[in-house]
Structure formats: C-alpha cells, structure tokens
C-alpha cells in the first residue's frame, strides 16, 4: 500500500477467545473495487463468515471500518461503519455512527478492526496507536453507557479518547440493542449491541496520535474548498442545521404516512406538540461531528431538566405518534433512556406500539394503551434489562406477533421493524423496504420523498419506482463507502472526485455507481448464502389486509398482483433471476464471478 495515500494500510485483528492480537495488511486488491466503509464491511464479512453462523455465537465476526476520507478535513466523513451478521434478522448488517471514532481509528494507524471469538470474561478493547490490549471490564459490566464512557475516560485520560460501547441491553443480548459513541451517537439498527454482549465485549476505546496523508495536498485542499463553499454550505444541506429531521413530522403527516397508534393511521392529531417547532422550543445547543459545519445534532432539555441529543424524526415517529404519545418531554425521556441503556429507538417504539395495538384490539392484554406515557417508559427499562412486566417485548416485533397471533398486524421485513414512513401511503417505499438487504430500512432508498412528501410521483402506484430505488441503493452504497453522511446531498461525481484525490485512484461518477452496484450485489449474495429468497422480499400481511384508518392514505392497501409485478421488474432491472439471484453474467460484469458458486 502506498504511504502517500489516505489508507493506513493495515487491519487490526483481535481474537477475544485466545487473546491473540495481530496486524495484517489491508487487502490492496479490494481497495479499488470496494474503496472502504460499507464496501470493506461487506467484502470482509463475506470473506470472514461461514454460512450458517449463529449471530450470537463466538463464531460471528464484527468488523469496524472507516472510509477513505476519515481523518481528513472533509465534512461528514468521520463516520464509522460497523458490520456483522444481524441477530435481529440473520442478514448481513452494516450500521453507522457519527462523531469522531473513525477519524481517531485512522489517526491510530488502522483502516479497520476485525473482532472474532468470545472473551472468557467481560472485557474491553483498548487501542492506542500500535499498542492494543484486551482489558478486564468487570467493573464496567452492568453499567449504563454514559457511566461506562465516563469511567473509561477517567481511566484512559487525560488525552482524548473515543469509545464504542454496549449498554445493559447489549449485555442481555436484546436483539435490537445498539452501540453508542460519544454519549448520543448510535449504531442503531440490527442488534450490534447484542453481538458485543454475546462476545463479553463491553466497549472499544481508541486514541490515535498520527495523521492522514493524501497524494497531492494542494490540489486536494483546493478541490475541497470549492466543494465546501459551493456544494456543502448551500440551502440543499443547511436545513440539517436549521430544522433537521424533525421537519419531517409535518411533511409525513400531510402525506398521510406518519406512523400513528401502531401503524393503524397515517396522521397524528398531536403532531404540533412533537414537531420541529417543539424540538426548537426545547433546544439547548447544537452539536457537530468531527470537521462538520452542519451541526445537525440538537441537545434538548425537558421541563424536568433531562437533556438528550435529539429526538430525531425516527424517534419522534416511533416513540411518539406510533405509541399515541404527543409529549415532547416524554420523548426526551424516552430518547434518553434508549440511548443510555443501548436500545434502537425505532425497533423499541415499534414493539411497544405493537403491544399497545394487540391490547386495544383484544389479542392479548399487555396492560399498555396508546398514550400511556408511564407504561411506555417503564417498558423501555423492562426491555433493556429483560426483566419486569414487559420483559418479553425484548424479543422483538416478529417474535411477539408470532406468539400472540398478530402476524396480520406486525410491520417488519426480514425481522427488522419499519421506520417512520407508512408505505401504504407511498407504495415505492414498501418496495424499498422489502428489497433492502438488512430488512426494512429508509436509508437504502428514500423514494417516499418523491411520493408522499413532495408529490413528484404517484404514491399509490409501483410504476417507475423500481429503477428509482435501484439508483438510490447503488448511490447510497458508494456514499456510505465514502463514508459521507446522509445530511450532505453530495453528487456522485463529487464523491468520485474526492475519493480519487484521497486514494490516488482515478474514477468517475459512472464508475463510482458501478462500485455501489458491486457492493449491493455482495450483500445480496451474503443473504442468499444464508438461505434468504424471494419470499423474504415480500411485504408484511398488513400492507395487503389492513388499510389505514385516517390521513391522506386512508383506506389504501397493496394488491399481491401489483406488488409481485413490481418485484419482478426490480429483479429484472438488477440483472437477477425471477427468484432474485444474480445471474452469472451480472456477477461477471461486476467482477464478482469468484463468488458465483456461493449463491446457488
């Protein structure tokens, strides 16, 4: 690996079972085809994991990778990608966290970390440049995330460290437990916290004192200056600073897709109490990730003095409207509890909302009702600790629906609960959820923006949606290989130019999109190897059988004929068979022929 590009050129490998720690070269042959970030996560996971690996067994692997621009001054790129086989879904999983971990890891001289095995006792991983140790975490086990972070900072200080930590929910292996960095930033979806817990790994802490180089610093700086002022600091991106994601509360309500009372309605009458104006009223100050001027993070304070970063739109939608709760104070407390205990706010709000719906509709009396603020907050604690009246909600929505006969009402794909956009009011978003490799996800394609929010495309049809979704999925795959934050509406040619300047490789926007497509197909191959099929790319029954009761999309459902036709079109445009398997010709065109036998 050239010493004059942005890569550190080496990977840290840690075997928690044996205690072995080693350094190995970054696979240079993969840098051109997969670049970094999501690309490395998917390629390394495909290489490292055996088919059929239990996600909560010592055999599962966790990989942490920065993007090629981490540690430079390029805004929004100090993001870390963490990957594994998800305990929530069994799929390949990539999850992202902002702040400064990825930059610090690069400063320590590592492009990524591969963690295998299971520690014989609670442990944490300490990385200080080339010095790496597995240390005892007995005094940290059982502690909340914030207390753990504070204790590690006291122990490893006074120079700055950055940590990635599992909370009590991860220790208890709640399958939607998350990881947290810098108090309020989460690897949210898919259960990475549970995988840490299964490995007796409480935290990874890092301090780096090195630097990052690029091949031609003067040219790189000039390019970035132009992009910074002419692309980043423009109206298309500054909404993240002024309103942020809570601006979506009014937009989704107007479009009839805001999750309300267990996804039974698409419009919430209490929205004025939990929208962007309500967040602004509770604002203390703004917070930014490393080298980012957008400062989209918002510290808010409740009337009782509780402070949290957030709540963001997804938390508002699932912990608020979906549970029939219209109190910003309650949402701040809900957000704070989930963050400190290590729970994904999306899945947590879903499973609590489902229990409320089951109670309301007489399937089973959980003693939880829409608008029950005290019950909702207690349920969060019961879930995280797997004890108390609502402990079994920790098994997730799919499990709960199966046990109590709620399969007709649960909203999930591949076991991952819906984000805060009801696809009965945005049909294309339903296809985006089902074709996402990690389960229902709004980050793979935000086609709902062109459907229900801004009205460019008919929201009640699948027509013309497949091509749009594929483009989004490929684009976001290269964007998160960068790793650029979603808050920067950066163009593909600019992504290609910045990565080319940092790596020394030269490729254009079309070639960048081809890399994104390659990464997406590796994710598909991984899932096929694990036994996923066309049946797993189907919507939940509720989208066919349960029309929304109120809002712009009231009364709407899918037909199976229309959905299957849309999925057929999606597969065909992808170059896959009708069963969703990439053809040998498609794999050859993407340079993935060596993987072809793995997907039969």
The pLDDT of residue 600 is: 37
Domain ranges within the chain, ordered by starting residue: 10-207
**Cα Rg of the chain (Å, integer):** 22
Q: Kindly tell me the burial class for residue 16, based on how many C-beta atoms sit within 10 Å of its own C-beta (0-12, 13-18, 19 or more).
A: buried
Long-range pairs of 301-309 with CB within 8 A, sequence gap ≥ 24: 301/332, 302/328, 302/329, 302/332, 302/333, 303/329, 304/329, 306/332, 306/333, 306/336, 307/332, 307/336, 308/184, 308/332, 308/335, 308/336, 308/339, 309/183, 309/184, 309/185, 309/339
pLDDT in tens, 310-324: 899 999 999 999 999
Q: Confidence class of residue 599 from pLDDT cuts 50, 70 and 90?
A: very low
Given a contact cutoff of 8 angstroms between Cβ atoms, the answer to whether 441 and 189 are in contact is: yes
Q: Taking 80 as the threshold, does the pLDDT of residue 121 lie above it?
A: yes
Q: What is the length of the chain?
A: 600
Q: What angle do CA 305, 381, 387 make, to 5 degrees?
A: 155
Q: Kindly tell me the burial class for residue 281, based on how many C-beta atoms sit within 10 Å of its own C-beta (0-12, 13-18, 19 or more).
A: exposed
Q: Please name which of 187, 202, 191 lies closest in space to residue 144, comparing C-alpha atoms.
A: 202
Q: Confidence class of residue 598 from pLDDT cuts 50, 70 and 90?
A: very low
The pLDDT of residue 157 is: 86
Go through 475-489 and write b for each residue having 16 or more CB atoms within 10 A of its CB, e for each that does not.
bbbbbbbbbbbbbbe
Q: From residue 474, how far is each of 38, 223, 282, 466, 572 by CA, in Å?
A: 12, 24, 37, 12, 15
Q: Which residues pair with 309 in a beta bridge?
A: 299
Given a contact cutoff of 8 angstroms between Cβ atoms, the answer to whether 163 and 334 are in contact is: no
d(CA 520, CA 429): 18
Average pLDDT, the chain: 93
Q: Taking 70 as the threshold, does the pLDDT of residue 199 lie above it?
A: yes
The pLDDT of residue 486 is: 85
Q: Please name which of 504, 472, 471, 497 lies closest in space to residue 482, comparing C-alpha atoms.
A: 497
d(CA 63, CA 45): 7
Q: Taking 80 as the threshold, does the pLDDT of residue 28 lie above it?
A: yes
Give the predicted TM-score (pTM) of the model.
0.95
Q: Taking 70 as the threshold, does the pLDDT of residue 586 lie above it?
A: yes
Given a contact cutoff of 8 angstroms between Cβ atoms, the answer to whether 278 and 250 are in contact is: no
Q: Rounded mean pLDDT of 348-352?
A: 98
List the alpha helices (DSSP H) in 418-508. 427-435, 448, 465-479, 492-503
How many other C-beta atoms are found inside a 10 Å radius of the C-beta of residue 497? 20
Q: From residue 497, how far is each of 39, 307, 332 by CA, in Å?
A: 17, 40, 40
Q: Hey, what CATH topology would domain 10-207 get? A: Aldehyde Ferredoxin Oxidoreductase;  A, domain 1 (3.60.9)
The pLDDT of residue 299 is: 85
The pLDDT of residue 116 is: 98
The pLDDT of residue 208 is: 96
High-pLDDT (> 90) share of the chain, %: 82
Q: Rounded mean pLDDT of 372-399?
A: 97
3-state SS, 580-593, equals CCECHHHHHHCCCH
pLDDT in tens, 222-232: 888 887 777 77
Q: Rounded mean pLDDT of 257-284?
A: 95
The pLDDT of residue 4 is: 64
Q: Rounded mean pLDDT of 431-440?
A: 97
3-state secondary structure (DSSP) of residue 72: coil
The pLDDT of residue 78 is: 87
Q: From residue 177, how far is each of 100, 180, 346, 439 by CA, in Å?
A: 21, 10, 11, 16
Q: Taking 70 as the threshold, does the pLDDT of residue 61 lie above it?
A: yes
Question: Where are the extended beta strands (E) located within 104-226?
Answer: 112-116, 123-128, 131-136, 162-166, 179-181, 185-187, 201-207
Q: Rounded mean pLDDT of 192-217?
A: 95
Q: From residue 304, how far is each of 130, 274, 330, 377 by CA, in Å?
A: 45, 17, 10, 15
In the DSSP assignment, the letter for residue 317 is: I
Q: Taking 50 as the threshold, does the pLDDT of residue 532 lie above it?
A: yes
* Contact residues for 349 (Cβ-Cβ < 8 A; gap 6+): 315, 317, 318, 319, 320, 322, 323, 334
């Amino acid at each position: 690996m050239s010493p004059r590009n942005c890569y550190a050129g080496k990977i840290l490998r840690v075997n928690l079972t044996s205690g072995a720690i080693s350094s190995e070269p970054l696979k240079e042959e993969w840098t051109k085809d997969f670049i970094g970030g999501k690309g490395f996560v998917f390629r390394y996971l495909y290489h490292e994991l055996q088919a059929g690996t239990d996600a909560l067994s010592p055999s599962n692997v966790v990989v942490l990778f920065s993007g090629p621009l981490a540690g430079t001054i390029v805004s929004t790129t100090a993001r870390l990608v963490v990957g594994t086989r998800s305990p929530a879904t069994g799929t390949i999983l990539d999850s992202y966290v902002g702040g400064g971990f990825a930059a610090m890891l690069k400063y320590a001289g590592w492009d990524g970390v591969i963690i295998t095995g299971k520690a014989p006792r609670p442990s944490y991983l300490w990385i200080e440049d080339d010095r790496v140790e597995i240390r005892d975490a007995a005094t940290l086990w059982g502690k909340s995330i914030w207390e753990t972070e504070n204790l590690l900072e006291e122990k490893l200080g006074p120079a700055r460290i950055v940590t990635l930590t599992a909370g009590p929910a991860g220790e208890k292996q709640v399958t939607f437990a998350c990881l947290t960095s810098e108090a309020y930033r989460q690897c949210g979806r898919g259960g990475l916290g549970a995988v840490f817990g299964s490995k007796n790994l409480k935290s990874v802490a890092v301090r780096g004192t090195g630097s990052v180089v690029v091949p031609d610093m003067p040219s790189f700086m000039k390019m970035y200056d132009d992009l910074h002022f002419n692309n980043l600091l423009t109206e298309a991106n500054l909404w993240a600073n002024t309103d942020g994601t809570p601006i979506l509360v009014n937009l989704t309500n107007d479009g009839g897709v805001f999750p309300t009372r267990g996804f039974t309605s698409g419009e919430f009458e209490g929205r004025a109490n939990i929208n962007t104006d309500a967040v602004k009223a509770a604002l203390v100050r703004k917070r930014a990730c490393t080298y980012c001027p957008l400062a989209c993070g918002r510290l808010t304070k409740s009337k009782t003095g509780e402070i949290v970063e957030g709540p963001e739109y997804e938390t508002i939608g699932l912990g608020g409207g979906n549970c029939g709760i219209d109190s910003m104070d309650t949402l701040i407390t809900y957000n704070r509890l989930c963050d400190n205990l290590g729970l994904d706010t999306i899945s947590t709000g879903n499973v609590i909302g489902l229990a409320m719906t089951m109670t309301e509709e007489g399937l089973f009396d959980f003693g939880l009702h829409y608008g029950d603020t005290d019950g909702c907050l207690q349920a969060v604690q019961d879930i995280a600790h797997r004890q108390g009246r609502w402990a079994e909600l920790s098994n997730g929505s799919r499990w709960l629906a199966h046990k109590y006969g709620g399969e007709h009402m649960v909203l999930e794909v591949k076991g991952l609960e819906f984000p805060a956009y009801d696809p009965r009011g945005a049909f294309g978003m339903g296809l985006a959820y089902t074709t996402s490799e990690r389960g229902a996800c709004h980050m793979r394609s935000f086609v709902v923006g062109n459907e229900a929010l801004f009205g460019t495309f008919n929201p009640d049809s699948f027509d013309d949606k497949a091509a749009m979704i594929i483009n989004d999925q490929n684009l976001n795959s290269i964007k998160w290989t960068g790793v650029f934050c979603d808050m920067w509406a950066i163009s593909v040619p600019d992504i290609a130019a910045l990565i080319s300047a940092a790596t020394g490789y030269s490729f254009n926007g079309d070639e960048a999109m081809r890399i994104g497509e390659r990464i997406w197909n590796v994710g598909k191959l991984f899932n096929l190897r694990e036994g996923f099929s066309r049946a797993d790319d189907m919507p939940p029954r509720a989208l066919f059988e349960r029309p929304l009761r109120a809002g712009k999309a009231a009364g709407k459902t899918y037909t199976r004929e229309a959905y299957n036709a849309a999925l057929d079109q999606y597969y065909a445009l992808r170059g896959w068979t009708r069963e969703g398997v990439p053809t040998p010709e498609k794999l050859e065109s993407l340079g993935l022929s060596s993987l072809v036998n793995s997907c039969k």
